[in-house]
Structure 1
């Protein structure tokens, strides 16, 4: 399958109605400095020809397309892809984003060199604003390592890229269709919260991912209250599953997002160590 050995990482690219942006995302996979990858495109019931765009790349032996009949949402599409991942690692790529050329090589090297209980590797992300079809450089989102699962719970921003140990994701049940987000919202936060109880999160302090900002991926203010309620329910659920050692104290971000401000020990609850990172 791969001229320099079997692939070690699968790029799982779920797409819904992104026919225009999809070629750049796929091109960034083909441009990787390591050949040790597979690409699994999951068409999540697109109606704009995204599936046809993806299928143009099936000439390559390491590209596969999984077509879902109806739109299921990102988390459910990733869960549908999970049984088809046949490499020790996989990384998700949003269909309107793209990788830096060394992303897969550096993320794989970090996981290989890390401790045996490492389950996720992230890095930094350059954001670009889409202005009338022209990409203008915006801010850089810098991730960080975490001391334990409670430290991660306090972390507000998202992590990208999300490079996973496949066996670990399967061990925690994958991307579940939870009762709050229904597998459509905050699927990334939920799987990461589940994985924090299992192993360490590593961080590569380099820009390895590029995020496209545009009107379609900037959440409308009227939706924020609903999404904040979903996030709050997810976090409270995870705290209960961890033995409820802390009470969550919330704060409202200036842009309207809900973040954890503090974790207050419960007098009657036994504090768990939780030190997995």
Structure 2
């Protein structure tokens, strides 16, 4: 089975980068791909960019009334999507043409068994039982503002918060970049919830997947190019790796891991959109109607694209 996929692109005040990210996502070779941009209360020209794509049959632009942060914008994408799987791209991500297709082929493979040479009882599974792949990651390349090219390869770095003693051959911003651009089976969100409201949301979500025993698959090829600009969260003074806010979030994530080592308990993060105001939707037919405000559910695409 080749599952349907939604590419969720959360964005805030990055209108200058957004068209290339949307074009790259719409140009994916996977025929059943929906591209959903969640505009997190932008005040630049993002509304105009979304209007250009409003008539595209596989595009949906969501506009939020206020800025709620990347984690909640991703949760909006999860709640509104209707597909079998979801992947998250940033507005500076350029996925290679077959990226989504290759991930979807893995996540839709229903013939994977738990090989008895591995200790599957640690994840609550029986040897030789059928496995559902929960997360499919790929390697990617990162182009830094000075033009330096860094390859992000996800191997032992997946467990850096569990076993830092295994990480000495990698260093930030290398393999320590976590699960952005991963693809996730929809059932994963049912089991463990969505993203925690912090700026280490990718790291926290990845750890929760691991602790909950979800099955990862890594495609060992570079399938996405990320062009990091001066306005990115990891380079901004208030949110870079050494900022007080990120240090505090990282400590909270580490505390969760330490608690799991003691108790083996994993707490789901419910997706709560009660404080999120969705003010625009360019194509309600591509969305889960129960997650849309009633006044947006039955609008035709052309009318929905003009919601103020």
The aligned residue for residue 153 of structure 1 is 162
2:108 maps to which of 100, 108, 112: 112
TM-superposed CA distance for 1:112, in Å, is: 2.1
2:219 maps to which of 204, 226, 240: 204
Q: Which has the higher strand share?
A: 1
CA distance in 1, matches of 2:252, 2:109: 36
The aligned residue for residue 56 of structure 1 is 52
- Between 234-243 and 160-169, report the one with greater CA deviation: 234-243
Please tell me whether the aligned partners of residues 162 and 257 of structure 2 are also in contact (alpha carbons under 8 angstroms): no
**1:158-204, CA deviations, whole angstroms, 9 ceiling, x for partnerless residues?**
2342111111123212123xxxxxx1411111111111113111100
TM-superposed CA distance for 1:222, in Å, is: 8.7
- TM-score normalised to structure 2 length: 0.68
Give structure 1 stretches of 5+ with no counterpart: 177-182, 246-277
The aligned residue for residue 140 of structure 2 is 125
**1:87-144, CA deviations, whole angstroms, 9 ceiling, x for partnerless residues?**
110100101211011101111112223743321111111112346xxxx461211112
Give structure 2 stretches of 5+ with no counterpart: 113-130, 168-175, 265-308
The aligned residue for residue 190 of structure 1 is 204
Question: For residues 1-277 of structure 1, what are the structure 2 equivalents within 5 Å?
Answer: 8-113=4-109, 115=112, 116-130=131-145, 136=147, 138-144=149-155, 153-154=162-163, 156-176=176-196, 183-196=197-210, 197-217=212-232, 218-220=235-237, 223-244=242-263
Please tell me whether the aligned partners of residues 14 and 41 of structure 1 are also in contact (alpha carbons under 8 angstroms): yes
The higher-RCO structure (CA 8 Å, 6+ apart) is 2
CA distance in 2, matches of 1:139, 1:201: 23
Structure 1 residues 9, 65: closer, same or farther in 2, change over 3 A? same
CA distance in 2, matches of 1:8, 1:14: 19
Q: Hey, which bits of structure 1, 4+ residues long, moved more than 4 A?
A: 149-152
Q: CA RMSD in A?
A: 2.5
SS at 2:184 equivalent: strand
Please tell me whether the aligned partners of residues 123 and 160 of structure 1 are also in contact (alpha carbons under 8 angstroms): no
CA distance in 1, matches of 2:2, 2:52: 23
Structure 1 residues 123, 145: closer, same or farther in 2, change over 3 A? farther
Please tell me whether the aligned partners of residues 160 and 209 of structure 1 are also in contact (alpha carbons under 8 angstroms): no
SS at 1:98 equivalent: strand
The aligned residue for residue 299 of structure 2 is none
Please tell me whether the aligned partners of residues 3 and 104 of structure 2 are also in contact (alpha carbons under 8 angstroms): no
CA distance in 1, matches of 2:258, 2:84: 29
SS at 2:108 equivalent: helix
TM-superposed CA distance for 1:26, in Å, is: 0.5
CA distance in 2, matches of 1:80, 1:33: 25
